[in-house]
Amino acid sequence: MPATIAIGRPGTDEYAPIYAGYVQQITGDDVLPVLAAQLHQMEPLLHGITEERGLHRYASGKWSVKEVLNHLSDSERVFAYRALRFARADATPLPSFDENAWVPASGSDRRPIAEIVGELRAVRAASRGLFESLDAEAIGRRGEASGRPISVRALAWIIAGHTQHHVAILRDRYGCGV
Protein backbone atom coordinates (compact mmCIF):
# COMPACT_ATOMS: atom_id res chain seq x y z
CA MET A 1 0.00 0.00 0.00
CA PRO A 2 1.40 3.43 -0.85
CA ALA A 3 2.26 5.81 1.96
CA THR A 4 -0.43 8.39 2.56
CA ILE A 5 0.33 11.51 0.57
CA ALA A 6 -1.27 14.91 0.65
CA ILE A 7 -4.27 15.46 -1.57
CA GLY A 8 -3.75 19.05 -2.60
CA ARG A 9 -6.37 21.50 -3.74
CA PRO A 10 -7.76 20.71 -7.20
CA GLY A 11 -7.56 23.14 -10.07
CA THR A 12 -10.81 24.61 -11.33
CA ASP A 13 -10.44 22.49 -14.47
CA GLU A 14 -10.78 19.34 -12.33
CA TYR A 15 -14.46 19.74 -11.48
CA ALA A 16 -17.67 21.27 -12.81
CA PRO A 17 -18.52 24.80 -11.67
CA ILE A 18 -21.47 23.45 -9.67
CA TYR A 19 -18.95 21.98 -7.20
CA ALA A 20 -16.90 25.16 -6.73
CA GLY A 21 -18.80 26.14 -3.60
CA TYR A 22 -18.00 22.83 -1.94
CA VAL A 23 -14.30 22.99 -2.81
CA GLN A 24 -14.12 26.59 -1.55
CA GLN A 25 -15.67 25.55 1.79
CA ILE A 26 -12.41 23.84 2.70
CA THR A 27 -9.27 25.73 3.69
CA GLY A 28 -5.70 24.50 3.62
CA ASP A 29 -3.61 22.59 1.15
CA ASP A 30 -4.49 18.98 2.03
CA VAL A 31 -7.99 17.55 2.34
CA LEU A 32 -6.99 14.35 4.17
CA PRO A 33 -6.76 16.01 7.62
CA VAL A 34 -10.16 17.58 6.99
CA LEU A 35 -11.72 14.23 6.13
CA ALA A 36 -10.18 12.80 9.31
CA ALA A 37 -11.35 15.63 11.57
CA GLN A 38 -14.85 16.37 10.29
CA LEU A 39 -16.80 13.69 12.13
CA HIS A 40 -14.93 14.41 15.36
CA GLN A 41 -15.80 18.09 14.94
CA MET A 42 -19.43 17.11 14.28
CA GLU A 43 -19.64 15.05 17.49
CA PRO A 44 -21.45 17.73 19.56
CA LEU A 45 -23.98 18.13 16.75
CA LEU A 46 -24.48 14.38 16.22
CA HIS A 47 -24.55 13.47 19.89
CA GLY A 48 -27.35 15.88 20.70
CA ILE A 49 -29.93 14.70 18.15
CA THR A 50 -32.89 12.96 19.76
CA GLU A 51 -35.38 10.87 17.81
CA GLU A 52 -37.85 13.75 17.97
CA ARG A 53 -35.22 16.26 16.83
CA GLY A 54 -34.23 13.88 14.03
CA LEU A 55 -37.69 14.34 12.49
CA HIS A 56 -37.51 18.14 12.61
CA ARG A 57 -37.88 20.06 9.36
CA TYR A 58 -37.16 23.78 9.40
CA ALA A 59 -39.87 24.42 6.79
CA SER A 60 -42.58 22.54 4.96
CA GLY A 61 -41.17 20.44 2.13
CA LYS A 62 -37.62 20.47 3.53
CA TRP A 63 -35.72 17.37 4.56
CA SER A 64 -35.74 16.20 8.14
CA VAL A 65 -32.50 16.11 10.15
CA LYS A 66 -32.39 12.33 9.65
CA GLU A 67 -32.82 12.78 5.90
CA VAL A 68 -29.99 15.33 5.77
CA LEU A 69 -27.65 12.96 7.62
CA ASN A 70 -28.63 10.03 5.41
CA HIS A 71 -28.13 12.27 2.36
CA LEU A 72 -24.57 12.89 3.56
CA SER A 73 -23.92 9.13 3.63
CA ASP A 74 -25.56 8.53 0.25
CA SER A 75 -23.72 11.39 -1.45
CA GLU A 76 -20.38 10.46 0.03
CA ARG A 77 -20.84 6.90 -1.19
CA VAL A 78 -21.57 8.14 -4.71
CA PHE A 79 -18.60 10.53 -4.75
CA ALA A 80 -16.26 7.89 -3.29
CA TYR A 81 -17.47 5.31 -5.82
CA ARG A 82 -16.70 7.73 -8.60
CA ALA A 83 -13.26 8.31 -7.09
CA LEU A 84 -12.64 4.56 -6.85
CA ARG A 85 -13.61 3.94 -10.47
CA PHE A 86 -11.45 6.77 -11.79
CA ALA A 87 -8.53 5.97 -9.46
CA ARG A 88 -8.54 2.45 -10.89
CA ALA A 89 -8.27 3.91 -14.41
CA ASP A 90 -11.86 3.07 -15.32
CA ALA A 91 -12.88 5.77 -17.77
CA THR A 92 -16.51 4.64 -18.09
CA PRO A 93 -18.72 7.76 -17.86
CA LEU A 94 -20.84 7.64 -14.72
CA PRO A 95 -24.40 8.95 -14.48
CA SER A 96 -25.84 11.63 -12.24
CA PHE A 97 -27.93 10.82 -9.22
CA ASP A 98 -31.03 12.65 -8.08
CA GLU A 99 -30.75 13.29 -4.36
CA ASN A 100 -34.29 14.66 -4.30
CA ALA A 101 -35.58 11.28 -5.49
CA TRP A 102 -33.24 9.32 -3.24
CA VAL A 103 -34.14 11.04 0.04
CA PRO A 104 -37.80 9.97 0.22
CA ALA A 105 -36.86 6.47 -0.96
CA SER A 106 -34.27 6.16 1.83
CA GLY A 107 -36.84 5.73 4.59
CA SER A 108 -34.58 7.75 6.87
CA ASP A 109 -37.37 8.96 9.14
CA ARG A 110 -38.22 5.35 10.06
CA ARG A 111 -34.64 4.59 11.13
CA PRO A 112 -33.17 5.21 14.59
CA ILE A 113 -30.90 8.26 14.66
CA ALA A 114 -28.08 6.19 16.20
CA GLU A 115 -28.18 3.87 13.18
CA ILE A 116 -27.99 6.78 10.73
CA VAL A 117 -25.10 8.37 12.63
CA GLY A 118 -23.30 5.00 12.81
CA GLU A 119 -23.69 4.60 9.07
CA LEU A 120 -22.29 8.09 8.47
CA ARG A 121 -19.23 7.21 10.56
CA ALA A 122 -18.73 3.94 8.66
CA VAL A 123 -19.05 5.63 5.27
CA ARG A 124 -16.48 8.26 6.26
CA ALA A 125 -14.08 5.59 7.53
CA ALA A 126 -14.37 3.79 4.18
CA SER A 127 -13.84 7.02 2.22
CA ARG A 128 -10.77 7.90 4.26
CA GLY A 129 -9.38 4.41 3.72
CA LEU A 130 -9.82 4.79 -0.01
CA PHE A 131 -8.23 8.22 -0.32
CA GLU A 132 -5.39 7.38 2.07
CA SER A 133 -4.52 4.32 -0.03
CA LEU A 134 -4.07 6.19 -3.29
CA ASP A 135 -0.79 7.21 -4.84
CA ALA A 136 -0.18 10.48 -6.70
CA GLU A 137 -0.97 8.96 -10.08
CA ALA A 138 -4.36 7.65 -8.93
CA ILE A 139 -5.23 10.93 -7.20
CA GLY A 140 -4.61 12.80 -10.43
CA ARG A 141 -6.71 10.56 -12.63
CA ARG A 142 -9.89 11.91 -14.15
CA GLY A 143 -13.14 10.57 -15.42
CA GLU A 144 -16.58 11.75 -16.38
CA ALA A 145 -19.54 11.94 -14.02
CA SER A 146 -22.86 13.67 -14.70
CA GLY A 147 -21.59 14.52 -18.18
CA ARG A 148 -18.64 16.54 -16.84
CA PRO A 149 -14.95 15.79 -16.30
CA ILE A 150 -13.83 15.39 -12.69
CA SER A 151 -10.66 14.26 -10.93
CA VAL A 152 -10.20 11.89 -8.03
CA ARG A 153 -8.54 14.77 -6.14
CA ALA A 154 -11.59 16.99 -6.68
CA LEU A 155 -13.93 14.27 -5.45
CA ALA A 156 -12.10 14.15 -2.09
CA TRP A 157 -12.48 17.91 -1.72
CA ILE A 158 -16.12 17.78 -2.81
CA ILE A 159 -16.89 15.16 -0.14
CA ALA A 160 -15.37 17.37 2.56
CA GLY A 161 -17.01 20.55 1.27
CA HIS A 162 -20.41 18.91 0.84
CA THR A 163 -20.26 17.73 4.44
CA GLN A 164 -19.21 21.20 5.64
CA HIS A 165 -22.09 22.74 3.66
CA HIS A 166 -24.71 20.51 5.24
CA VAL A 167 -23.27 20.83 8.76
CA ALA A 168 -23.69 24.60 8.45
CA ILE A 169 -27.30 24.09 7.35
CA LEU A 170 -27.95 21.73 10.26
CA ARG A 171 -26.61 24.35 12.67
CA ASP A 172 -28.09 27.47 11.08
CA ARG A 173 -31.48 26.30 9.84
CA TYR A 174 -32.21 23.28 12.04
CA GLY A 175 -30.62 24.54 15.26
CA CYS A 176 -28.62 21.34 15.73
CA GLY A 177 -25.54 21.45 17.89
CA VAL A 178 -26.22 24.92 19.27
Backbone angles phi, psi at 3, to 5 degrees: -65, 145
Length of the chain: 178
Please state the domain count of the chain.
1
Under DSSP, the state recorded for 15 is: S
Task: Give the tens place of pLDDT for each residue, 20-70.
Answer: 999 999 999 999 999 999 988 998 888 889 999 999 999 999 999 999 999
pLDDT, position 4: 76
Is 21 inside any structural domain? no
Instruction: Count CA atoms within 13 Å of residue 64 on its CB side.
Output: 22
pLDDT, position 1: 45
Is 55 inside any structural domain? yes
pLDDT, position 178: 60
Under DSSP, the state recorded for 12 is: G
Q: How many CB atoms lie within 10 A of CB 112?
A: 11
Q: Judging by beta carbons within 10 Å of its beta carbon (0-12, 13-18, 19+), is residue 48 exposed, middle or buried?
A: exposed
CATH value at residue 74: 1.20.120.450
Task: Give the tens place of pLDDT for each residue, 108-123.
Answer: 999 999 999 999 999 9
Is 177 inside any structural domain? no
Whether 11 has a pLDDT exceeding 80, the answer reads: yes
Is 17 inside any structural domain? no
Is 20 inside any structural domain? no
Residue 127 parent element (H or E)? helix 113-133
Contact assessment for residue 152 and residue 134, using Cβ atoms and an 8 Å cutoff: yes
Give the C-alpha distances (Å, rounded to integers) separating 102 from 19, 34, 38, 107: 20, 27, 24, 9
Q: How many CB atoms lie within 10 A of CB 134?
A: 23
Is 65 inside any structural domain? yes
Domain limits for position 161: 30-172
Is 59 inside any structural domain? yes
Residue 93 CA to residue 143 CA, distance in Å, equals 7
Is 1 inside any structural domain? no
Residue 80 CA to residue 130 CA, distance in Å, equals 8
